[in-house]
């Protein structure tokens, strides 16, 4: 019996991870976030009611699931407080089920200011970040200047560490960006107050996972962003600042590789991207606009319109290798219901060379030509279908082609935003 499942995005994020984690969470004992921060926007729809989560794991609507935030997540306590309060206002008991690792780096107010200042300074070359301070917070962690959650319960240590961090960042804000600096006393007070709100939730996540595993409990690891936004394997520098691929589960939750039994790679039936950077199969025509409209393609965190394009089997092939994908979950199949001819990028051409996986030198992405294969659309509604056999033949053919082209079997198909709009071909926990 499979015990632990990892859910990962295999494109540029927003593949529908939240929906799938929510529906799988009824079959597990704990759901764990292990990287990213509140740059994530994970949408859950249950009986028509929409919940958007940024930091709280997407198992929170299932009372049987403990929710954990591992050390790999950069945490804005202000954002977490808002999110927790909003959930509690809707009757969701967050505090009794949420645990946060004391080793989580804290996103501080200067991180957000620096994120904005840098993007502004980059002008046309901006990354298009979510502006949440994610990059600067991860930089502070790596430079060993970061404030961790545990520091907030040791005021003397916090005061000392904050002084060093703010000396540096206020200097950069003032002298490099010509911006207003932040008051040390104010930041210290606010941080101590926010820390106090979460003191009871501090949990040794790695230790807790070990305990759950020895009891034979099932654990679900919830990825944020997607493989193409990975700091090492993505379209650098147009990426996020964490590893979004499989290795981050071990480092960001504090478990060994034997903790992973099944990797579910989430992909849309087409492709989207928010922010700047290469997107070889991007559409600039009415078909792309139609997909954006039917798919309601606006970012769940920033509300920005998402760029839309055809499925990119070349990039998905790489994601399948990089993550050891056991099976794909194809989401938003219904969005293609009215597309007459559906194309899939099956290879890249770079100069005269044909590539079946993307190049690893990022600048080459700008010069790629895409080779496509065309598939006839099904031109009927698949919305809400829950049995594979009920899908139109052309949809079945498209999914079979995806399996053959992308290097892993399709185990689930999502046919609408609601939790119950799902086809389960093979359940990841079985
Ligand atoms: P995540 O970041 O990977 O969790 O994905 P987001 O929540 O940012 O974006 C996915 C969007 O697609 C959300 O608005 C979901 O409600 C919606 N969605 C998920 N699965 C489906 C589906 O199968 N069909 C349709 N039409 N919408 C879906
Ligand atoms: P979920 O978990 C889509 C993108 C931003 C930007 C780049 C860097 O909902 O799939 P950052 O703020 O992380 O420094 O921005 O990464 N990005 C996402 N795009 N979905 C996300 O999360 C994203 N999180 C970050 O748009 O291009
Ligand atoms: Mg999202």
Task: Report the pLDDT averaged over residues 322-329.
Answer: 98
Token pair for residue 278? 């290469």
What is the pLDDT, as a whole number, of residue 349? 96
Give per-residue pLDDT as tens, 132-164: 999 999 999 999 999 999 999 999 999 999 999
Question: Which ligand minimizes its atom distance to the CA of 235?
Answer: 2
Distance 10 CA to ligand 1 centre (A): 14
305-321 tens-digit pLDDT: 999 999 999 999 999 99
pLDDT at 303: 86
Over residues 21-38, the mean pLDDT reads 97
Q: Where in the chain is CATH 3.90.170.10?
A: 266-424
**234-263 average pLDDT score:** 97
Structure tokens that stand for 49 in this block: 């009611």
Bridge partners for 371 per DSSP: 347
Residues surrounding ion ligand 3 at CB below 5 Å: 14, 41, 300
Burial of 150 (0-12, 13-18, 19+ CB in 10 A): middle
Please give the pLDDT value at position 331: 98
Mean pLDDT of the chain: 96
Q: Please report the pLDDT score of residue 302 as a whole number.
A: 81
- Residues 355, 361, 362, CA angle at the centre, nearest 5°? 100
* Region(s) of the chain under CATH 3.40.440.10: 4-99+204-259
Residue in 12, 18, 39, 128 to alter for ligand 2 test, most ligand atoms within 8 A of Cβ? 39
Q: Is the pTM of this model over 0.75?
A: yes
Report the share of the chain in percent with pLDDT over 90.
95
Environment class of 290 (CB within 10 Å of its CB; exposed 0-12, middle 13-18, buried 19+) = middle
Tokens of 109: 């107010």
| pLDDT score, position 304 | 86
Task: Name all contacts of 257-261 with Cβ < 8 Å and 24+ positions apart.
Answer: 259/4, 259/209, 259/213, 259/219, 260/4, 260/6, 260/221, 261/2, 261/3, 261/4, 261/5
Q: Which ligand is nearest to the CA of 19?
A: 1
pLDDT digits (tens, 9 = 90+) for 180-193: 999 999 999 999 99
Distance 267 CA to ligand 1 centre (A): 10
Domain spanning 4-99+204-259, CATH architecture: 3-Layer(aba) Sandwich (3.40)
Residues 388-395 have a mean pLDDT of: 98
Q: Is the pLDDT of residue 61 over 60?
A: yes
Give 138's DSSP letter: H
- State the Cα–Cα distance between residues 76 and 137, nearest whole angstrom: 10
Q: State which CATH number among 1.10.300.10, 3.40.50.2300, 1.20.1250.20, 3.40.50.880 fits the domain covering 109-196.
A: 1.10.300.10
pLDDT of residue 2: 63
In Å, how far are 84, 99, 258, 307, 402 from 335, measured between CA atoms? 32, 36, 37, 15, 16
Nearest CA to ligand 1 atom 18: 417
Superfamily for the 266-424 domain: Adenylosuccinate Synthetase, subunit A, domain 3 (3.90.170.10)
Which region holds residue 285: left if phi is over 0, alpha if psi is between -120 and 50, else beta? beta
pLDDT in the model for residue 300: 76
Where in the chain are all domains bearing CATH 1.10.300.10? 109-196
Q: Closest ligand 2 atom, CA of 229?
A: 16
Nearest ligand to residue 422 Cα: 1
pLDDT over 70 percentage in the chain? 100
What is the set of active-site residues? 14, 42
pLDDT digits (tens, 9 = 90+) for 202-235: 999 999 999 999 999 999 999 999 999 999 999 9
1 has pLDDT over 60: no
How far is the centre of ligand 3, averaged over its atoms, from the C-alpha of 349 (Å)? 30
Per DSSP (E only), the strands in 200-270 are 219-222, 262-268
- Ligand 2 test: best mutation among 9, 12, 13, most atoms within 8 Å of CB? 13
pLDDT of residue 76: 98
Q: How far is the CA of 352 from the centre of ligand 3 (A)?
A: 36
């Amino acid at each position: 019996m499979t015990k632990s499942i990892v859910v990962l995005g295999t494109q540029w994020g927003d593949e529908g991870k939240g929906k799938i984690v929510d529906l799988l969470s009824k079959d597990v004992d704990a759901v764990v976030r292990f990287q990213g921060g509140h740059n994530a926007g994970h949408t859950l729809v249950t009986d028509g009611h929409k919940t958007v989560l940024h930091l709280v794991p997407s198992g929170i609507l299932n009372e049987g699931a403990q929710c954990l935030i591992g050390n790999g997540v950069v945490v804005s306590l202000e954002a977490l407080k808002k999110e927790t309060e909003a959930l509690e206002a809707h009757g969701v008991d967050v505090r009794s089920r949420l645990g946060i690792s004391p080793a989580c780096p804290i996103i501080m107010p200067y991180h957000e200011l620096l994120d904005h200042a840098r993007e502004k300074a980059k002008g046309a070359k901006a990354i298009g970040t979510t502006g949440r301070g994610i990059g600067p917070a991860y930089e502070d962690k790596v430079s060993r200047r970061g404030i961790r959650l545990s520091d907030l319960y040791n005021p003397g240590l916090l005061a000392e560490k904050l002084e060093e961090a703010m000396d540096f960042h206020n200097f950069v804000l003032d002298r490099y960006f010509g911006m207003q600096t932040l008051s040390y006393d104010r930041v210290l007070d606010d941080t101590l107050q926010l820390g106090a709100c979460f003191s009871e939730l501090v949990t040794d996540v790695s230790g807790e996972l070990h305990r759950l595993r020895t009891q034979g409990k099932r654990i679900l690891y919830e990825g944020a962003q997607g493989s193409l936004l990975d700091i090492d394997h993505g379209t650098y520098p147009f990426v996020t600042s964490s590893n979004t691929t499989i290795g981050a589960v071990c480092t960001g939750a504090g478990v060994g590789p034997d903790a992973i039994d099944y990797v579910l790679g989430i992909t849309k039936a087409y492709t989207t991207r928010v922010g700047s950077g290469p997107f070889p199969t991007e559409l600039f025509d009415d078909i792309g606009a139609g997909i954006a409209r039917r798919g309601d393609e606006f970012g769940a965190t920033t509300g920005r319109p998402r760029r839309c394009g055809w499925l990119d089997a070349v990039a998905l092939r790489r994601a399948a290798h990089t993550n050891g994908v056991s099976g794909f979950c194809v989401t938003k199949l219904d969005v293609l219901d009215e597309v007459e001819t559906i194309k899939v990028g099956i290879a890249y051409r770079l100069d005269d060379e044909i590539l079946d996986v993307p190049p690893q030198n990022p600048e080459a992405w700008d010069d790629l030509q895409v080779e496509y294969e065309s598939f006839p659309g099904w031109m009927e509604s698949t919305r809400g279908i829950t049995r594979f056999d009920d899908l139109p033949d052309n949809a079945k053919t498209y999914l079979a082609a995806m399996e053959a082209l992308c290097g892993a079997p399709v185990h689930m198909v999502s046919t609408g935003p609601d939790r119950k709009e799902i086809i389960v071909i093979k359940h990841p926990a079985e």
